[in-house]
């Protein structure tokens, strides 16, 4: 929804987050739910921006500017992360507000992972329930196509730079040594609210009226946070986070049991009361059966998020295929003079093959032709009657008679010599 003013109160609401502030900017509230992105993904089926939970850079920067004079800002956070670049911008804007006198408190309503944990650390006071989940790791970069060592090192250097920025935010918040934080980032460290408080990422543990319930998908690549599906986009859940289909058996200590958000949400799920278990989709195929609408949104999100990457990979594959085909034809043309026109056309178009395979076919054809020619010569010789004509030539013993075998051997030798010279 567009930013607007409701009476004397500043108000803005978007898919994924909302902003509210009172008339005199004494207090403001910022709700950050969703994936952190540079721009809102586009739905190519409807030709409209995707209306889902995203924290979009351009939208949030406008709203932060509008409430920059607030004396107090409360942030409600539930994000699996997303763009490191956008998280850096949001973090810096929030820290600028702190410098200008704004007191910022961040409450982790569900999860604060990756770029989400970076944003979380902009607050001077971070609050979380014991069942909240915080994760820090080193930055990830998708790599498609073919690269040499120098190009790959450049990608790694870029990742190192992002890691240093996140490291600075984590160090400011926790006071930990850089070596320890880097070790935690390398290990992709997941922490419950209580563990995050012990490590200095969280300042206060709070009890909420609605218990945070978290479980992992069966393949550990996504979370269900109080019933909300949240892909991890490259990260993997640790083994101690229970999977969806075992949710009822999770102990209260973990605070991670998954239940539907409401009766309305429960209507879109298939229940199996046998053994006290609630059956829910653990892969996309099952999700299509149980909740087609949600499955469609998940697929749209993924396609939109990776559209540019897939196009780049496809373009690279097409260019490589064209280059390989040009090289194949150039090599074939280089030996065209040694190959019959029929074989040449067959190798180029009808039954495509490499220049090496064509050369072998040509040699085999020439060998067959040579043998056929030799057989024809022998047949012509036998049919000519020349074998009945005896040449008279001096022999080693002084005689002038030549045996039939000697005559035949000389003729065959002459034929072979002629073939060699040809």
Report the alpha-carbon distance of residue 159 to residue 29 in Å, rounded: 33
Instruction: Look over the chain and give the mean of its residue pLDDT values, rounded to a whole number.
Output: 74
| 415 or 3, greater pLDDT | 415
Taking alpha carbons only, the member of 135, 93, 145 closest to residue 114 is: 135
Report the alpha-carbon distance of residue 408 to residue 386 in Å, rounded: 9
Backbone angles phi, psi at 308, to 5 degrees: -65, -40
3-state DSSP assignment of residue 233 = coil
- Residue 313 buriedness (CB in 10 A; 0-12 / 13-18 / 19+): middle
Using 50, 70 and 90 to split pLDDT, how confident is the model at 273?
very low
Which pTM value belongs to this model?
A: 0.54
Cβ atoms 357, 332 nearer than 8 A: no
Of the CATH numbers 3.90.1200.10, 3.40.50.300, 3.90.226.10, 3.60.150.10, which one belongs to the domain with range 1-211?
A: 3.90.226.10
Backbone angles phi, psi at 92, to 5 degrees: -65, -40
Cβ atoms 297, 287 nearer than 8 A: no
Q: Note the pLDDT of residue 336.
A: 82
Separation of first and last alpha carbons in the chain = 86
For residue 408, give every residue at least 6 positions away whose Cβ sits within 8 Å of its Cβ, in sequence order, or none: 387
Report the alpha-carbon distance of residue 191 to residue 383 in Å, rounded: 97
pLDDT tens per residue, range 55-85: 889 888 888 888 888 899 999 998 988 899 9
> Which range is least confidently modeled, 210-214, 244-248, 322-326?
244-248
Which residues are paired to 28 by β-bridges? Answer: 21, 73
Cβ atoms 203, 126 nearer than 8 A: yes
Count Cβ atoms below 10 Å from residue 16 Cβ, excluding itself. 23
Using 50, 70 and 90 to split pLDDT, how confident is the model at 51?
low
Query: What CA–CA distances, in Å, run from 163 to 114, 183, 270?
Result: 11, 12, 42
Q: DSSP secondary-structure letter at 187?
A: T
CA atoms within 13 A on the CB side of 119: 36
pLDDT above 50 for 113: yes
pLDDT above 50 for 402: yes
Using 50, 70 and 90 to split pLDDT, how confident is the model at 17?
low
Long-range contacts, 365-371 (Cβ 8 Å, 24+): 365/340, 370/419
pLDDT tens per residue, range 332-373: 888 888 888 888 888 877 888 888 888 878 777 777 766 666
Report the alpha-carbon distance of residue 66 to residue 22 in Å, rounded: 12
- Residues of the chain above pLDDT 70, percent: 59
> Which range is least confidently modeled, 32-36, 51-55, 221-225, 395-399?
395-399
- Residue 94 buriedness (CB in 10 A; 0-12 / 13-18 / 19+): buried
For residue 257, give every residue at least 6 positions away whose Cβ sits within 8 Å of its Cβ, in sequence order, or none: 213, 215, 242, 247, 248, 250
Cβ atoms 78, 182 nearer than 8 A: no
Q: Note the pLDDT of residue 255.
A: 29
Cβ atoms 93, 87 nearer than 8 A: no
Using 50, 70 and 90 to split pLDDT, how confident is the model at 4?
very low
* In the chain, where the domains are located: 1-211, 357-421
Find the angle CA(392)-CA(394)-CA(398) to the nearest 5 degrees: 130
């Amino acid at each position: 929804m567009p930013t607007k003013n409701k009476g004397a109160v500043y108000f803005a609401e978007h898919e994924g987050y909302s902003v509210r502030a009172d008339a005199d900017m004494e207090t403001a509230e910022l709700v950050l739910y969703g994936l952190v992105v540079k721009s809102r993904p586009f739905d190519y089926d409807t030709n409209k921006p995707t209306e889902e939970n995203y924290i979009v850079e351009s939208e949030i920067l406008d709203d932060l500017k509008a409430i920059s004079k607030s004396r107090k800002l409360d942030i409600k956070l539930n994000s699996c992360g997303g763009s490191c670049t956008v998280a850096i911008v949001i973090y810096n804007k929030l820290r600028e507000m702190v410098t200008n006198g704004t007191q910022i408190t961040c409450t982790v309503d569900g999860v604060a992972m990756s770029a989400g944990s970076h944003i979380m650390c902009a607050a001077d006071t971070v609050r979380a329930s014991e069942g909240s989940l915080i994760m820090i790791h080193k930055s990830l970069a998708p790599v498609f196509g073919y690269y040499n060592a120098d190009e790959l090192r450049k990608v790694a250097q870029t990742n190192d730079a992002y890691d240093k920025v996140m490291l600075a935010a984590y160090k400011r918040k926790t006071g930990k040594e850089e070596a320890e934080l880097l070790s935690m980032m390398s290990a992709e460290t997941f922490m419950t609210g209580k563990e995050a408080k012990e490590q200095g990422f969280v300042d206060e543990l709070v009890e909420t009226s609605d218990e945070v319930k978290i479980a992992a998908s069966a393949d550990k690549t996504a979370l269900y946070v109080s019933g909300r599906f949240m892909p991890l986009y490259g990260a993997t859940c640790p083994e101690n986070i229970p999977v969806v289909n075992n949710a009822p058996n999770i102990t209260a200590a973990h605070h991670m049991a998954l239940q539907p958000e409401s009766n309305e949400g429960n209507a879109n799920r298939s229940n199996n009361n046998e053994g006290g278990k609630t059956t829910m989709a653990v892969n996309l195929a099952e999700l299509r059966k149980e909740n087609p609408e949600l499955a469609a949104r998940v697929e749209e999100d993924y396609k939109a998020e990776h559209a540019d990457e897939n196009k780049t990979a496809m373009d690279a594959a097409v260019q490589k295929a064209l280059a390989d085909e040009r090289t194949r034809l150039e090599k074939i043309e280089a030996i065209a003079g040694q190959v019959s026109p029929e074989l040449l056309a067959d190798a180029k178009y009808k039954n495509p093959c490499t220049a090496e395979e064509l050369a072998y076919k040509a040699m085999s054809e020439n060998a067959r032709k040579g043998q056929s020619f030799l057989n024809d010569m022998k047949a012509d010789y036998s049919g000519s009657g020349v074998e009945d004509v005896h040449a008279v030539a001096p022999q080693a013993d002084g005689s002038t008679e030549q045996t039939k075998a000697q005559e035949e051997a000389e003729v065959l030798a002459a034929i072979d010599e002629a073939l060699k010279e040809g």
